[in-house]
């Protein structure tokens, strides 16, 4: 029953997390586009009001004319829309999902004993520290160098180093799938913390000053803008890290930390292309195609590097092997050959004592029932056994593949 309840929590939290993330990322992308596409106002009245940029757009059958005030509007409107609950709800649902999916069952999903043989509470503590320590170091870097000359370049370089170190540590301390997700959660935590600790507080100070009739310090807008820009560059790397759990060829690679860094870099470079593309259309900068080319080239290199090696003669022979008890005909793998593999590699989590995800594989009818899922998880995605704790071999995976493709017979 516990597994069933956790599955429901996982589904509902994931659903809510995706919805709120779409809302947050969508609004973030829109405002980055808006800032990059604004042009100086032509109307003299707008100039007198302090408008620094305007944009005309058409959408959904209507025309829109948003304007941006350089520091403050002449007066505050009665209804002022704020954008922060999208961020907070995304983080809250994401951390809850991380807790249900990984921290709750740390011994199964977070720990890879071949890397670090620690107790679940130790693994959970270190995982949470990744979120906290990265934010503190990143925030310190921004405080120290963000407002200096060439500050953006310095901050970018130092944050890149920090992400690389964190990725290396995570991939050497945790199970590969969990490590990738942890780095995504780490960056997402800093994104939400930027909103909670800098962007929104700065905006509140500006609003308070306007209401009090006091001068507005432009530093709040500059800092908020800086953190907002950081968030937009974190977005595509975070999305890759979150989605990578469905593609085991990334996180199971011996140098998975390098795969993670390279593909996050590709995401950031492609995001830079889209950010600069809006300004290029207005003649503000050169064509940003080099960033897109760098991102795409990195992806192509990864595709080539991660491509599977051809099967060796020994592995090919093993995939067609049968034993004396095999009841198959014409070289197809039968249940008699499959059952010892399941007993040794799968019964630990899907047997009489434990049925993870409500899946039991210690009888022919159950194996037949879950044949498609077995093939997908064991052969295609290579997610199971989790972290390969039972040491399944490639030859055994090939036997399961041949069994399924020859009809998944259990009689």
- Contacts for 384 with CB less than 8 Å, ≥ 6 apart: 346, 374, 377, 378
What's the CA gap between 244 and 21, in Å, rounded? 17
What's the CA gap between 191 and 24, in Å, rounded? 11
Closest C-alpha to 228, from 275, 297, 278: 275
What's the CA gap between 55 and 77, in Å, rounded? 20
User: With contact defined as beta carbons under 8 Å apart, do 345 and 390 qualify?
Assistant: yes
Mean pLDDT of the chain: 86
CB atoms within 10 A of CB 364: 14
Q: How far is CA 101 from CA 74, 96, 278, in A?
A: 50, 9, 39
Report the pLDDT averaged over residues 281-294.
Answer: 80
pTM for the structure as a whole: 0.80
Give residue 329's pLDDT: 40
Give residue 199's pLDDT: 93
Residue 151 clears pLDDT 90, i.e. is over it: no
φ/ψ bin of 387: left (φ > 0), alpha (ψ from -120 to 50), beta (otherwise)? left
- Contacts for 37 with CB less than 8 Å, ≥ 6 apart: 55, 278, 279, 281, 282
Q: Is the dihedral of CA 311, 348, 111, 239 positive or negative?
A: positive
What's the CA gap between 129 and 135, in Å, rounded? 10
Residue 230 clears pLDDT 80, i.e. is over it: yes
Residue 111 clears pLDDT 90, i.e. is over it: no
Report the pLDDT averaged over residues 38-65.
Answer: 89
| Domain residue ranges of the chain, discontinuous segments joined by + | 2-34+86-306, 313-405
The predicted-structure confidence for 314-355, as pLDDT tens digits, reads as follows: 545 554 554 444 444 445 678 888 888 888 888 878 877 766
């Amino acid at each position: 029953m516990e597994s069933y309840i956790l599955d429901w929590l996982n589904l509902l939290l994931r659903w809510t997390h995706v919805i709120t993330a779409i809302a947050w990322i969508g609004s973030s992308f829109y405002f980055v586009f808006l800032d990059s596409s604004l042009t100086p106002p032509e109307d003299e009245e707008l100039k007198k009001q302090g408008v620094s940029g305007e944009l005309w757009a058409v959408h959904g059958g209507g025309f829109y004319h948003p304007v941006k005030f350089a520091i403050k509007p002449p007066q505050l409107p009665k209804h002022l829309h704020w954008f922060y609950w999208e961020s907070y709800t995304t983080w809250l649902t994401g951390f809850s999902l991380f807790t249900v999916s990984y921290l709750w069952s740390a011994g199964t999903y977070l720990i890879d004993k071949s890397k670090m043989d620690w107790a679940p509470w130790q693994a959970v503590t270190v995982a949470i520290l990744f979120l906290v320590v990265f934010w503190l170091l990143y925030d310190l870097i921004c405080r120290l160098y963000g407002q200096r000359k060439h500050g953006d370049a310095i901050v970018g370089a130092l944050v890149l180093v920090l992400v690389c170190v964190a990725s290396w540590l995570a991939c050497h301390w945790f199970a590969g799938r969990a490590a990738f997700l942890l780095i995504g959660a780490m960056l997402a935590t800093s994104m939400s913390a930027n909103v909670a600790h800098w962007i929104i507080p700065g905006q509140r100070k500006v609003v308070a000053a306007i209401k009090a009739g006091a001068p507005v310090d432009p530093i709040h807008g500059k800092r908020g803008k800086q953190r907002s820009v950081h968030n937009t560059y974190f977005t595509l790397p975070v999305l890759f890290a979150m989605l990578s759990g469905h593609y085991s060829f990334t996180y199971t690679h011996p140098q998975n930390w390098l795969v993670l860094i390279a593909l996050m870099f590709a995401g950031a470079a492609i995001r830079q292309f889209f950010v600069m593309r809006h300004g290029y259309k207005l003649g503000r900068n050169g064509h940003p195609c080099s960033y897109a080319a760098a991102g795409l080239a990195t992806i192509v290199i990864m595709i080539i590097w991660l491509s599977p090696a051809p099967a060796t003669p020994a592995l090919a022979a093993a995939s067609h092997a049968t034993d004396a008890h095999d009841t198959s005909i014409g070289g197809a793998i039968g249940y008699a050959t499959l059952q010892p593999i399941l007993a040794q590699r799968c019964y630990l989590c899907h047997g009489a004592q434990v049925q993870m995800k409500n899946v039991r594989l210690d009888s022919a009818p159950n194996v037949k029932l879950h044949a498609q899922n077995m093939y997908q998880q064991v052969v295609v995605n290579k997610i199971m056994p989790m972290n390969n704790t039972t040491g399944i071999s490639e030859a055994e995976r090939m036997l399961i593949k041949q069994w399924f493709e020859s009809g998944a017979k259990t009689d």
